[in-house]
Every structure is written in structure tokens, then in C-alpha cells.
Chains A and B, each alone.
Chain A
Amino acid sequence: MSIEFDNNLPIYLQIMTYLKKEIIIGKLQPGDKIPSVRELASELQINPNTVQRTFQELEREGIVETRRGLGRYVTSEESKIMAIKKEMAGDLLERFIRGMQELGFKDQDIISIVEDAVKQS
């Protein structure tokens, strides 16, 4: 596991995004055990309380569940995983569209640019 951290942004948010991605692309499967606070803190060389906070937030969002005495697991509810996939895609799209609008592109131009880019890649 390796993350290129940006020290200008809260670290716990960056780990959250990273773990969500791992779940979406299936590196972490529904029902998989996730590393302990200690393991992840050592591996990423960051403060254990920061990792703790990441896990708390992921639990709050229902993506991660604690099983008493056993540790933390990725949720088995596929619908939750689909939901975060949509949410992350939405964030990316919103940023992209705003950026393009700031460059002066009209909606139709943006669509055709995306179409061309998708064909090329």
C-alpha cells in the first residue's frame, strides 16, 4: 500500500479516498478484513490517531463495519459500494466540468471533447 500524500490536505481524507478506491476497484472485496490502525499507521508512516479517524469516518458512512473483537471489515452490502463509486465519479465529473467551463467551453463542446478522448484512449 502506498499513497503519495499531499500535506496541504487533511491526511485522513486522503486515506479515506484511497481506501474507497481500493474497494471500488475490488482490491478490497466486500467482507474483506482491513488492516488494523497500527498496521496501517506503520505502513504509511503516519499518526495512528489519523488512521483511527479515517476508520471512524468510513464506519459512519457505512463502508466499513466493526465486528467486536475481530476487527474491521469492508461492508458486504454491494449497494453501498455502488453508491460510493457513483459519488466518487460524481466528484470527478463535477470538477472536470467546472474546469472546462472556466476555460470557456460550452456544454456541447465538452461532450464532443469527451467523446473524442474516450475514443482515442
Chain B
Amino acid sequence: MEPMASQWTEAPHSMGTTIMAVEYDGGVILGADSRTTTGVYVANRASDKITQLTDNVYLCRSGSAADSQVVSDYVRYFLNQHTIQLGRPSTVKTAGTLVKELSYQNKSFLETGLIVAGWDKYDGGSVYGIPLGGTMLRLPFATGGSGSSYLYGFLDQAWKPDMTHEEAEKLVVKSIALAIARDGASGGVVRTVTVNEQGVERKFHAGDKLPLFYEEIAPRPSPLRAH
């Protein structure tokens, strides 16, 4: 007997998502939410959407989970070989160009928006936005995913050039938290990855530790149980 299929068992895995990357003085910070959905069901509430490409370059993935994974797997494979031949760490621009080539040459098949960010000694911290279609743009900061719609106004006002690492990290966490507050396809925890000359640092900002916004309330024991 076949199990009944419903919309949410058949729907493709999609990372509704909010992703972003910000360049600061000395490196970059990548940030993402952690929700993966199949239709309306949350298939994974603690996904890691920030994927490593090389020691010094990372990738934020959004859109179709499968498409973004396949692109990141190929690019990691290419860069692995490239680094061996080159004899030193590959540049962020090279990583971005490879991601762009895959996105552009396969634009009719792929549905994934990507952000490549990292640090190299030639350009310092760099952020490259590669949206649907395969356009590649170097930007001081980039956002992506369905949750990014809610951040245009906020970042128009809140982003400033030449931020320190602390300021940039606070901005990333607050932005993703705001997007999670309004976008049903984004949720869970906020993961951040800092990449600079010294190396890489991963941070985990738990969902219940994120700032609360309009109409959200802090957890407390049930009013019916209060003595």
C-alpha cells in the first residue's frame, strides 16, 4: 500500500532563507538563518547554509537546497584542485567567478541565489553577490533569499561604510533576526562566520537569545500556573 502523498511530502526542499554578507575593515562576516522547508513543513530547523569553499572563502546558499548544494560541491572540487596547482590560497574573486560561471551557464536549470565572501591578501575582505541569472557584482554588503525583501529599508538606513567587526556582526545578527520575524520561510538560529587574515570563526546565536521585536513577547511560565 502506497503512503498517501501530500503537498508537503512532494514539495522540493527549498531554503526560503535569509542570507547576508558584510565587508568590514579587515574581513567579512557571513550570516544566515537555519530554516529549510518542504512546502509548509520545516524539514530542518537547524540547517547550516554557510558552506565552506576553501580555507578562506565561504558561500551563503539560498533558493533550491539541491541546486545550491550541487553548485557548492562543484566549486569546492574545482577550488581544491586549483589551490593545489596554484600553491597558495585561491582568491575570493576566483571562487566567485567559478560560482558565477555555473550559475550563468545553467541559468535555465538552476534556482539558487548565492553570496560568495572571504578574505585574500590581494583584495582583503570581499563580498560577491550572485543572484538568479548569474550576474556577479562585488558589493560592500549583499543580501539574499526570501527574507531579504524585509531588509532593504532597514539596511538602507542602518548600513554604514567602514564598520568594525563588532558593529558588522551586530548588524548581521539584527538583520537576520528582523527577517526571521516577518518571513515565514526563515527561522531558527542565526549562524555567523567571520573570515579574516587570522582565519575563520563560526558563531551560533540561538533562536531564543535573539532580540525581540514588535508584537513578540518573552517566554514565561503560564499565567494559569502563577501562585
| A and B interact | no
Residues of B participating in the A interface, judged by any CB pair closer than 8 Å: none
